[in-house]
Structure 1
Amino acid sequence: MSGLGAEAYRVQAGAELGHLLTWLGPEDTLRGMFFRSLQDAMLTLLGEAAMEACLEEVTGERDFVDFFAYPAVDFLRMVRRAAWLMEERGCEGQETLRMLGHLGTAAFLLSPAGRAMDVLASGTPRRVLENLPMAYQMMSPKGGPVSVTTLGPTRARVNFSRDVLPCAYLEGQLEALLKKAGARGVRIEGRRVGAFSSEFLLSWTEGD
């Protein structure tokens, strides 16, 4: 954690979620796999009551199908409720979002839909990053292009031109993908570079 205190991180996480919820429209969607993986993560972390509390934030359909598209604002409301519930257990905002992104992605990769996409999330860390633009387009159909720049054998920069997820959540997703590919010592630093664009610097060591 940087020099920012836990309260500053909480405010930062809440401000980013508030910004996204304010500006996203009905055309911004996410696949049902995001919703289902968040359900699984909350069920594992806090139990059925917490999972149901998150589902109360959904205004429409609650029986999610992995490859169907649903309003991104509903997912962000679920994420916000999940973060509040985790904060009640002593977790700070940014770390909670990172954890949810990691656990949600790990849960998805074990699902039938995740196994169907396994070819895009398997191999070496560099291969996974090479496939990331295609995988992101499948998971977030209304998202903008993703670019991956190799900075060295175990370093890369990832730019999302239009993403609808908090930076910390995306950090957790990227970490889960790299670790599945055998990466160790993963370090990810993300930041907003525009209203809906973000940049991530990644480094890791190769597994045995």
Structure 2
Amino acid sequence: MDGSENEGGTKPLEFWLQDLERRMAFVQPEHTVRGMFFRGMLESFRSLGDETLVGRCLEASGHERFVDFFSYSVRVQSQLLLTALPTLARHYGSGEAALRQVGRRSISDFLGSVTGKAMLMMAHGRPRPMIDHMPTGYRVAVSFGEMKVAWSGPQRGTLSVGLSFLPPPVYAGMLQGVLEASRVQTFQAAGRETEGLGVACDFSWE
């Protein structure tokens, strides 16, 4: 199983809330995300048995429901996370761990979609092809930024996103979800900030 968090150790919840707010300040109207991720986030909150939290998140988002392949402002995603993160942090032990679970759940939802199932089929369940296909899935899911994968060995590399409105632990969770779907048992994934609003996540597996 994965045993890594972000570089620099576990940061306090307030750090991640401020990071989300800082990134949200740069959102433009053309920055959108598919509704499947919002719906998945709300379902993951509901699975904790906290309907009050789901209600508060919907109120903060300004939407009563989300349609999977409809595009919504990424600002909505930030508002959902800002509302939910304190509760999620208490449940998972830290803000960092909670954000990682958000990323892990987003990949689970994506792999259950038509595009995600096609990606799984093309990769034959193998980890390296699945990671190589992540930038293609990313382009389907969001309207901004560019995701790239650079390999430094047969089973290690770096996933980078040039413009991200999500903190680094979310991408570590995404990689965790992909590797788990590939049935990899032992792996590492650690996210870090890069220039501007960029994010990079170093990963490896055995």
Pick the TM interval, shorter chain: 0.7 to 0.9
CA 1:3 to 1:107, structure 2 compared with 1: closer, same or farther past 3 Å?
closer
Amino acid aligned to 1:118: K
1:1-208 superposed matches below 5 A: 8-59=11-62, 61-89=63-91, 91-110=93-112, 114-121=113-120, 122=123, 123-141=125-143, 143-205=144-206
SS at structure 2 position matched to 1:17 = helix
Please, which runs of 5 or more residues in structure 2 have no aligned partner? none
Measure the CA separation in 2 of the matches of 1:45 and 1:131.
Answer: 31
Deviations 1:168-207 (A, max 9, x none): 11211121012101222221111111222111101112xx
SS at structure 1 position matched to 2:195 = coil
TM-score in terms of structure 1 length: 0.86
Deviations 1:4-54 (A, max 9, x none): 675x43232122111112121222111101101101110112332221221
What's the Cα RMSD here? 2.1
Measure the CA separation in 2 of the matches of 1:101 and 1:185.
Answer: 18
Measure the CA separation in 1 of the matches of 2:108 and 2:162.
Answer: 24
Aligned residues: 199
Deviations 1:53-111 (A, max 9, x none): 2111113x43211111101111111011111122344731111111122123324434x
Measure the CA separation in 1 of the matches of 2:45 and 2:57.
Answer: 8
CA 1:90 to 1:107, structure 2 compared with 1: closer, same or farther past 3 Å?
closer
Measure the CA separation in 2 of the matches of 1:126 and 1:85.
Answer: 34
Please, which runs of 5 or more residues in structure 1 have no aligned partner? none
CA 1:177 to 1:19, structure 2 compared with 1: closer, same or farther past 3 Å?
same
Measure the CA separation in 1 of the matches of 2:201 and 2:7.
Answer: 19
Measure the CA separation in 2 of the matches of 1:72 and 1:179.
Answer: 27
Q: Which deviates the most, 12-21 or 99-108? A: 99-108
Amino acid aligned to 2:169: A
Measure the CA separation in 1 of the matches of 2:71 and 2:94.
Answer: 30
Measure the CA separation in 2 of the matches of 1:38 and 1:80.
Answer: 12
Residues 55 and 62 in structure 1, CA contact (< 8 A), matched pair in contact too: yes
Amino acid aligned to 1:11: E
Measure the CA separation in 1 of the matches of 2:155 and 2:92.
Answer: 34
SS at structure 2 position matched to 1:187 = strand
